[in-house]
Copies of this chain bind each other. A is one copy, B any other.
Amino acid sequence: MNTQSKQPFHDSTVTPVAASGVSITDPFWKNYMELVRNHVIPYQWEALNDRIPGAEPSHCIHNFSVAAGREKGEFGGFVFQDSDLYKWLEAAAYSLMWHPDKELEARMDWAVDLMAEAQQPDGYLDTYYIINGLENRFTNLRDNHELYCLGHMVEAAVAYHQATGKDKLLNIACAYADCVSAIFGTGKGQIPGYPGHEVAEMALIKLYHVTGQEKYRDLAQYFVDQRGQSPLYFAQEEAAHKRQKGWDGTLGYEYYQAHEPVRQQREAVGHAVRAVYLYSGMADVAKETGDESLLSACEALWDDITQRKMYVTGAIGSSQFGEAFTFAYDLPNDTVYGETCAAIGLVFFARRMFELTRHSRYTDVMERAIYNGVISGMSLDGTAFFYVNPLEVDPLACQKDFHKSHVKPQRQKWFGCACCPPNVARLLSSLASYAYETDAKTFYLNLFVGADIHTDVGGGPLTLQVETRYPWDETVTVRILETAASAWTMAVRLPGWCRDARISLNGEAMDLTASNLIKNGYAHLTRQWKAGDVIQLHLAMPVERIAANPRVREDVGKCAVMRGPLVYCLEEADNGPDLHGIYLNQEPDFTVEERPDLLGGISVIHAKGRCLTEAGWDSPCGDSAFPPLYQPYQPPVLAPKDLTFIPYYAWANRGLGEMLVWVRI
């Protein structure tokens, strides 16, 4: 096993600004965060407590109550049901950071107390095995998610500690991590296993940061290093317990990213959420240990995903079978999986790769995913969620064609497997930590999110105000309100989608071609800043047509429409049915119209196009009731058509209908 432990890659580590120092004021995001706070978090608490009339019960709190001895009963729900509470706690903790709420905090403390009661003397805490028999714990790592639950518990504990300063949940998580740490490893009498579903890797690095205890970093590193080593643990476990094959029977150990040691992995494979969670953990471990071989694997995996397996919306996972990656350039729009959680996982991976490299190619993807494939997962009123985020939908096909039956044309209230809603909630609640990062002497403006920010840069406190109507408006204004006296760098991401970015400083245009000003896709503005300095960023946002690489079979002859970071789509509500017959003109005469009244306030894009008509196909064929199905080819007759595009994230908020991202041209 590789146990190298080099120095980190940079003198000074890039880390997110503490969320507690940020007050997001951005109209676009504030609305989402309020939805999460006012609707999603309270609703999910009710769901965890099985109090949603008509919904499938979660059993989650019930399971903890039984494990704690407060109630009698059986375990209910999925084997990973505990994680729903942990994700809720994490989202709620982030919410507390920007909006203290005594009632919510009390509710969380109640849940933490319940967890404490359920926890075993040796720190073990997984209600499935506590209820069903501890003698079987850790005997099915492949399927049974005990280490996945550890991961989410740790993430919740860290967030809750950061939000409230309270230790109780952190102590619970440390105790479980200690229990796992003692049991797992390659030492004598230890289990040489690792998580079937990854997440603990990145969680344990957070725990290391908060506690300063290297054993948690070492456990994360062990999980990363041991994965895929020969002899393969999952195969041994299967044999030892005479267990039937799991996903390895169909998709191979690739499903679990356990087919080879992680440093040898160069292609993103298997279950997409598991994959990006693992890769995020690998990046975290690489950052802590300075392990070049791990970084190199992360870079290769990143390239494979983002250059060969990612939808234009930032969605990943091309197939419903195994919720998995398939093969390079296989990006079907209508049978896509594109799980919301996978796009979120890609955001996790992106931020970590940025922290390792400080390069905008990662934060560009982060922005793409967040503004499109992540927020598409939640309805504009915060009450319904997509698990699958398709790029082309015909509701009839979803209903009648089994191969599309996983694609829902409308968001659902709550899932039996409720991974996505709390995942969206925790990402949105912690948006600040993706938007703004710092090292000792640099403030990185990754995402253009309006906020009041208090942090430390350049050896002293920094107070900034970011003001923008992004993604609708091209202008972002950053005001320095308070700063250290020493020189530091304001690093502003120049988005990859933007072909004309300008920056002015105190009203004066800067020459962005000046040497060394732009590095790794960021404009680095270094000076001794003073209070009152104003940086204004102008990001030209013409409507762009985007083409996919010709190897993407499904997108040949088509284009997507984007403006700024937003992918747009056609919806039946605006354009009528039969979207598959629409062609965008070569000269589409795009115009942008602000529609504050529509879909929570959006800019729509109008364009000139044409649509297939049934001219030449409109009369019944012989005695038949229907027009001909096949006939000698004549160039199709197209009629002019005015098209209206809406942002992709806002689709499916106006009832059932067709939707299309890739339109013929």
Interchain CA distance A626-B586 in the complex, whole Å: 28
- Contact between chains at A580 and B553 (CB < 8 Å): yes
A614 within 8 A of B: yes
**What sequence of 0s and 1s flags, for each residue 594-630 of chain A, a beta carbon within 8 Å of any chain B beta carbon?**
0000000000000000001110010001111111111
A50 within 8 A of B: no
- Contact between chains at B628 and A307 (CB < 8 Å): yes
Residue of B nearest to A304 (CB): B626
Q: Which of A504-553 contact B (CB under 8 A)?
A: 544-553
A394 within 8 A of B: yes
A127 to chain B, nearest CB (A): 31
Binding-face segment, A12-20, A59-67, A130-138, A312-320: A312-320
- Contact between chains at B580 and A627 (CB < 8 Å): no
Residue of B nearest to A554 (CB): B580
**Given the complex, which residues of B lie within 8 Å of A553, measured CB to CB?**
394, 580
Interchain CA distance A279-B304 in the complex, whole Å: 51
Residue of B nearest to A613 (CB): B550
Interchain CA distance A499-B631 in the complex, whole Å: 12
Binding-face segment, A28-36, A117-125, A380-388, A632-640: A632-640
- A547 interface neighbour in B307, B310, B625, B630, Cβ under 8 Å: B630
- A552 interface neighbour in B327, B547, B629, B632, Cβ under 8 Å: B629
**What sequence of 0s and 1s flags, for each residue 57-81 of chain A, a beta carbon within 8 Å of any chain B beta carbon?**
0000000000000000000000000
A641 within 8 A of B: no
Q: Which of A365-396 contact B (CB under 8 A)?
A: 394, 396
Interchain CA distance A559-B632 in the complex, whole Å: 9
Interchain CA distance A361-B629 in the complex, whole Å: 13
- Contact between chains at B624 and A307 (CB < 8 Å): yes
Interchain CA distance A551-B300 in the complex, whole Å: 42
A321 within 8 A of B: yes
A656 within 8 A of B: no
- Contact between chains at A633 and B665 (CB < 8 Å): yes
- Contact between chains at A319 and B394 (CB < 8 Å): no
A39 within 8 A of B: no
Interchain CA distance A633-B587 in the complex, whole Å: 12
Binding-face segment, A219-227, A398-406, A429-437: A398-406
**Given the complex, which residues of B lie within 8 Å of A635, measured CB to CB?**
586
- Contact between chains at B319 and A403 (CB < 8 Å): yes
**Given the complex, which residues of B lie within 8 Å of A552, measured CB to CB?**
629
- A549 interface neighbour in B299, B335, B623, B630, Cβ under 8 Å: B630
**Given the complex, which residues of B lie within 8 Å of A359, measured CB to CB?**
623
- Contact between chains at B629 and A306 (CB < 8 Å): yes
**Given the complex, which residues of B lie within 8 Å of A612, measured CB to CB?**
550, 556
A212 within 8 A of B: no
A362 to chain B, nearest CB (A): 11
Q: Are A632 and B580 CB-contacts (below 8 A) given A319-B401, A319-B402, A626-B303?
A: no
- Contact between chains at B665 and A400 (CB < 8 Å): no
Interchain CA distance A624-B586 in the complex, whole Å: 30
**Given the complex, which residues of B lie within 8 Å of A299, measured CB to CB?**
623
A330 within 8 A of B: yes
- Contact between chains at B549 and A632 (CB < 8 Å): no
- Contact between chains at A320 and B548 (CB < 8 Å): no
Residue of B nearest to A394 (CB): B553
- Contact between chains at B397 and A330 (CB < 8 Å): yes
Q: Are A318 and B401 CB-contacts (below 8 A) given A307-B626, A614-B550, A664-B556?
A: yes
Residue of B nearest to A561 (CB): B633
- Contact between chains at A548 and B665 (CB < 8 Å): no
Residue of B nearest to A300 (CB): B625
Interchain CA distance A473-B150 in the complex, whole Å: 73
A557 within 8 A of B: yes
**Given the complex, which residues of B lie within 8 Å of A479, measured CB to CB?**
none
Q: Which of A280-318 contact B (CB under 8 A)?
A: 299-300, 303-304, 306-308, 310, 312, 318
A322 within 8 A of B: yes
A42 within 8 A of B: no
A323 to chain B, nearest CB (A): 11
- A617 interface neighbour in B322, B549, B628, Cβ under 8 Å: B549
A665 to chain B, nearest CB (A): 7
A265 within 8 A of B: no
Interchain CA distance A330-B550 in the complex, whole Å: 25
> Which of A299, A300, A335, A547 gathers most chain B CB within 10 Å?
A547
A100 within 8 A of B: no
A20 to chain B, nearest CB (A): 35
Q: Are A622 and B548 CB-contacts (below 8 A) given A326-B400, A627-B307?
A: no
A568 to chain B, nearest CB (A): 13
Residue of B nearest to A401 (CB): B326
- A310 interface neighbour in B304, B401, B581, B629, Cβ under 8 Å: B629
Residue of B nearest to A545 (CB): B633
Residue of B nearest to A614 (CB): B550
- Contact between chains at A632 and B547 (CB < 8 Å): yes
Known: A361-B624, A499-B632, A549-B617. 19 other contacts (CB 8 A): A300-B625, A326-B401, A327-B396, A330-B397, A330-B401, A359-B623, A545-B633, A547-B632, A547-B636, A548-B629, A549-B627, A550-B612, A550-B636, A551-B614, A556-B581, A556-B612, A556-B636, A557-B557, A633-B665
A residues within 8 Å of B by Cβ? 250, 299-300, 303-304, 306-308, 310, 312, 318-322, 326-327, 330, 335, 359, 361, 394, 396-397, 400-403, 499, 544-553, 556-557, 559-560, 578, 580-581, 586, 612-614, 617, 621-636, 664-665
Could you list 14 examples of A-B contacts with CB < 8 Å? A306-B624, A307-B625, A319-B403, A320-B403, A322-B402, A326-B397, A326-B400, A327-B397, A330-B397, A499-B632, A549-B629, A550-B636, A552-B629, A557-B557
